[in-house]
Amino acid sequence: MSGSRFGPGYLVGPLEPRHDRRSFSCRVEALDRYLKEQATQDARRGVASVFVAEEQPTGVILGYYTLSMAAVNLDRLPDHLGRKMPRYPTVPCVRLGRLAIHADAQGHGLGTHLLMDAMARALRSEIAWAAFLVDAKDEAARSFYLRFGFESLADDRNHLYLMRRTLEPLFGAGPPRARPR
């Protein structure tokens, strides 16, 4: 499995057929059901990439997240950011669609590790994007993302974003550059 190691005892990488999704429970029915019933279909159809934190050496899924491409209407960004964007009707984004931690692994920082892994993966992509989006499902999730500097889009306090240029220095990344031939 290709992936990145974050902390002792688990490896983060793409969801694979060998992963046992049946035992996963974060105690949020919609998130549990997604991993068990829909995640592999979304990955196969190319609508979301699904990444799991797998306990080593047991292979138990401790958490997961999804990433997909998205766009946000320019007028949903605060005025000070919208004025700096090209005059296209939408801004290209990466969307963190779901983030869930197994109930037994909650409260140990795995959610933070998975969020950082998602941001780092997005920054490694050669596809251009300007903002990293999340849709907080409730106030607790919103509070989690606000701790990392996310801000609300203009039309909905639970639709949150971080600009790519804010993330790049944190991960030692810069804008995509042309490769020499």
How is residue 80 written in tokens?
């000070």
Contact yes or no for 48/67 (Cβ under 8 A): yes
Selected catalytic residue, list 10, 34, 64, 145:
145
What whole-number distance in Å separates Cα of residue 27 and Cα of residue 5? 25
Q: 10 catalytic, yes or no?
A: no
What whole-number distance in Å separates Cα of residue 130 and Cα of residue 113? 22
What whole-number distance in Å separates Cα of residue 118 and Cα of residue 79? 27
At which residue do the structure tokens 């939408």 appear? Answer: 90
Task: Tell me the three state secondary structure of residue 153.
Answer: strand
What whole-number distance in Å separates Cα of residue 70 and Cα of residue 82? 17
Task: Tell me the three state secondary structure of residue 26.
Answer: coil
Beta strands in 128-172 (DSSP E): 131-135, 151-153, 156-163
Pairing type for strands 131-135 and 156-163 reads antiparallel
Active-site residue numbers? 145
